Structure 1
């Protein structure tokens, strides 16, 4: 069973992932970045709060 915090973290990660997708599509400088690494970084940061 997922806790409320886990549900909220997953929701935040989905939103962040969608934002990263849009930025990477529209800004060529960001296309060189690793999307999975960015999402992992945000996930790690969310674990700290």
Structure 2
């Protein structure tokens, strides 16, 4: 159940949150909010793949 929840969250993130890799965002110039979104997406993705 936990893995399926994170898979659902990953799909939701893909639809709702912006993709910074498509925008070619430079991480050294990213704001704290952008870094938080990147961290959240990374966390959810790794949990969905475990």
| TM-score strictly above 0.5 | no
Q: Would you tell me which structure has more helix in proportion to its own residues?
A: 1
Which is greater in Rg? 1
Q: Name which structure has the greater RCO, CA cutoff 8 Å, separation 6+.
A: 2
Q: Calculate the TM-score normalised by the size of structure 2.
A: 0.33
Q: Calculate the TM-score normalised by the size of structure 1.
A: 0.33
